[in-house]
A and B are shown apart, each in its own frame.
Chain A
Amino acid sequence: MVLGMVRSTGEVCFLFLDIVRTLFTRPLRWRQFLRQMYFVGLRSQTIILVTGGFSGAVFTAQTLFRFRELGMATATGPVVAVAMCRELGPVLCALMLAGRVGSSIAAELSTMRLTEQLDALRALAVPPVEYLLLPRFLAVVLSTPLLVALSMAIGIAASWIVAVPIMEVDGAYYISHMTQYMEPKDVGIGLIKACIFGLIIALVGIHKGLNAGQGAEGVGQATTNAAVHASLIVLISNFFFSFLLNAIFPA
C-alpha cells in the first residue's frame, strides 16, 4: 500500500508537470475550456450555495445558543465569519466539488479510455493532455476559488439572516464586530486553500480516470476513488495548511 501511494504520488507529479508544460507550450483549447468552465463553475453553483448557506446558518445558530447565555451574542458574527472563510467555506466546498467534479472527470476519462476514445484521439494526432486534461484541470483550478468565495459570502449572509432577523441580535453591533475582527487575511487564507484544493481535486480525478481498471467495475471504482481519495487528501492537508498558513500570516 505504501509502495502504491508513493507510485501514485510520482505519477500525479508527472501528470502535473505534463499539464503545466502543455499550458505554456501549446495554445489553449478555448472551446473545451469554456465547456468545462460552464460545467464545473456555473453548474456547481447551486450545491455550493446550499452547502455554504446552510453550514453558515447552523453554525451561527449553535454558536448563538451558547454565546447568548454568556452575554456575547454579537461575538458570533466574527466567529462565524472567520470560521467560514478559513475552514468551513474552503473545506466543505472542496468536499462537494470532489464528489461532483472530481468523480465526473474520472468517470468521463475512464470511459473514454475503455472505449478507445483516448487512443482514437491520439491516432488523430491530438494529444489528450491538450484536448482533454488541460481544459478540465484549468477549469477546476480556476473555479474552485471562485466557488469558495461564493460560499464564504453566502455563509456570512446566512449567518446574518439567522442572527439578526430570526434570533434578534442587534444588527448594527453584529456587523460592526464582524468587520472589526475579520481581516482580509482570513479571506486570503481561505482562497489560498481553495486553490490548493482545486489542484488536488483536478489531479486526483484525472489520475484515477487515466488509470482505471477494465470494464464497468473499473469505471465505478475510479469514480468512487476519485471522490473519496480527493476528499481525504483535502481533509488531511487542510490540517497542515492551517498551521502552515497561520505561521506565514500570524494572528
Chain B
Amino acid sequence: MIQVKGLYKSIAGQEILRGVDLEVRTGETLVVIGRSGGGKSVLLKHLLGLMEPDAGEVWYDGTNLTALNEREMIPLRREMGMVFQNGALFDSMTVSENIAFPLVERECLLADEVDQRVARALEIVGLSGHGEKMPSSLSGGMKKRAALARAAIGRPRIMFYDEPTAGLDPILSDSISKLIARLSKELSMTAIVVTHDMASACQIADRIAMLHEGKIYALLTPAELQASTDPVLHDFLHGISKGEIL
C-alpha cells in the first residue's frame, strides 16, 4: 500500500501541491486525472522520491520514502517502474539497449536471455524491427511505447505511467490501455496512471482520483464519476470550459 500524507511542494514560488492525501491499495489501478499543469507529473515524481516535498510524507507499506537518502531508495526503486511523460529514453543508446538497461543493470542474466526478453518486449509494444534505431529517430508515440517496455521489463511490483496514451492514435491508445490492464492483472502490479484520456481511464481504473488546485478533489470509481453531478468533475469529464482560460 502506498500512502501519501499531506504533501506540499512549491517550485519557483508557485504552490503546486497543497496537501495531497492519497492511499493506493496494493494491486489496484489508480488513475489520476486533472488539468494540464495541475501538478500530476510533480506528484508522480514525489512518489518515486525523484523530488523532495516541502512537507508531507510518502509511505510504502512500512517504509517512509521521504526519510531515505538516494542510496537507501535503491531497493525500493527496483520494485518500481516509471513511464515518463516524454519517454526520457537514454539518447546515447539504441531502443533495444534502452529496454535492456534494467535487466543489464539489475539482474545477472546471460546475453541470450536479455536479447530474448528485449525482443519479446519490443513485440508486445509493437516496436519489432525498430530495436536498432536511436530514440531521436522515433516518433513521440513510439518513444512512449519504448519507455513503457523499459519500465515494465524488470516486472516491477508498482508501475507509474505519466500520460501513456497521450499523442497516440485511438487504436494504439486502446492497445496500450489493454496492455496496462494486462500487466496489472497478470503480474498483479499496482499501477498509478496519469491520463487525460477519459475512455482509457474508465477502461483500466479501479478508482479515479482528481487532482484539482493542488489537492485530491475527489476519489471515486469510474461508475461514480460518470454519475457524478459535481460541477468540477462534470466539466472535466465532458470537457466544458467555463471561459476561465483564454
* Complex alpha-carbon distance, A116 and B82, angstroms: 12
* Complex alpha-carbon distance, A214 and B162, angstroms: 21
* Complex alpha-carbon distance, A199 and B88, angstroms: 30
B242 on interface, CB distance cutoff 8 Å = no
Chain B, residues 92-119, CB within 8 Å of chain A (1/0): the string is 0000000001100110000000000000
B182 on interface, CB distance cutoff 8 Å = no
Whether B77 contacts A125 by the Cβ 8 Å rule is: yes
Whether B106 contacts A127 by the Cβ 8 Å rule is: no
A120 on interface, CB distance cutoff 8 Å = yes
* Complex alpha-carbon distance, A115 and B74, angstroms: 22
* Complex alpha-carbon distance, A90 and B21, angstroms: 58
Chain A, residues 102-136, CB within 8 Å of chain B (1/0): the string is 00000000000001110111111111000000000
CB distance from A135 to the nearest CB of B (A): 13
Whether A119 contacts B84 by the Cβ 8 Å rule is: yes
* Complex alpha-carbon distance, A117 and B73, angstroms: 18
* Complex alpha-carbon distance, A115 and B85, angstroms: 10
CB distance from A15 to the nearest CB of B (A): 13
The residue from B45, B49, B77 contacting A124, defined by CB atoms under 8 A apart: B77
Whether B88 contacts A122 by the Cβ 8 Å rule is: no
* Complex alpha-carbon distance, A223 and B73, angstroms: 31
> A128: nearest residue on chain B (CB-CB)?
B70
Q: How large is the interface on B (under 10, 10 to 19, 20 to 34, 35 or more residues)?
A: 20 to 34
Whether B48 contacts A123 by the Cβ 8 Å rule is: yes
The residue from A117, A122, A124, A127 contacting B102, defined by CB atoms under 8 A apart: A124
* Complex alpha-carbon distance, A127 and B73, angstroms: 10
Please, which residues of chain B bring their CB within 8 A of the CB of A117?
A: 88-91
B238 on interface, CB distance cutoff 8 Å = no
Please, which residues of chain B bring their CB within 8 A of the CB of A125?
A: 73-75, 77-78, 105-106
Please, which residues of chain A bring their CB within 8 A of the CB of B105?
A: 124-126
Whether B71 contacts A122 by the Cβ 8 Å rule is: no
CB distance from B148 to the nearest CB of A (A): 13
B124 on interface, CB distance cutoff 8 Å = no
The residue from B48, B77, B78, B91 contacting A115, defined by CB atoms under 8 A apart: B91
Please, which residues of chain A bring their CB within 8 A of the CB of B88?
A: 115-117, 119-120
B50 on interface, CB distance cutoff 8 Å = yes
Whether A120 contacts B82 by the Cβ 8 Å rule is: yes
Please, which residues of chain A bring their CB within 8 A of the CB of B73?
A: 125
> A35: nearest residue on chain B (CB-CB)?
B92
Please, which residues of chain A bring their CB within 8 A of the CB of B45?
A: 119
Please, which residues of chain A bring their CB within 8 A of the CB of B64?
A: none
Whether A122 contacts B78 by the Cβ 8 Å rule is: no
Whether B101 contacts A124 by the Cβ 8 Å rule is: yes
* Complex alpha-carbon distance, A122 and B77, angstroms: 8
Whether B71 contacts A127 by the Cβ 8 Å rule is: yes
Whether A127 contacts B101 by the Cβ 8 Å rule is: no
B80 on interface, CB distance cutoff 8 Å = yes
> B154: nearest residue on chain A (CB-CB)?
A124
Please, which residues of chain B bring their CB within 8 A of the CB of A123?
A: 48, 50, 77, 80-82, 84
> B85: nearest residue on chain A (CB-CB)?
A116
Please, which residues of chain A bring their CB within 8 A of the CB of B70?
A: 122, 127
* Complex alpha-carbon distance, A124 and B89, angstroms: 12
B86 on interface, CB distance cutoff 8 Å = yes
* Complex alpha-carbon distance, A125 and B74, angstroms: 5
Please, which residues of chain A bring their CB within 8 A of the CB of B101?
A: 124
* Complex alpha-carbon distance, A223 and B70, angstroms: 27
CB distance from A234 to the nearest CB of B (A): 28
Q: A123-B50, A125-B75 are in contact. List 12 more A-B contacts (CB 8 A).
A: A115-B91, A116-B85, A116-B86, A117-B90, A117-B91, A120-B88, A120-B90, A121-B90, A123-B77, A124-B77, A125-B74, A127-B70
**Closest 7 CB pairs between A and B?**
A120-B88, A116-B88, A125-B77, A123-B82, A125-B78, A125-B74, A119-B50
Which residues from chain A sit less than 8 Å from chain B, CB to CB?
A: 115-117, 119-127
Provide 9 A-B residue pairs closer than 8 Å at the C-beta atoms, listed in order of the A residue. A116-B84, A117-B90, A119-B45, A120-B88, A120-B89, A123-B84, A124-B105, A125-B105, A125-B106
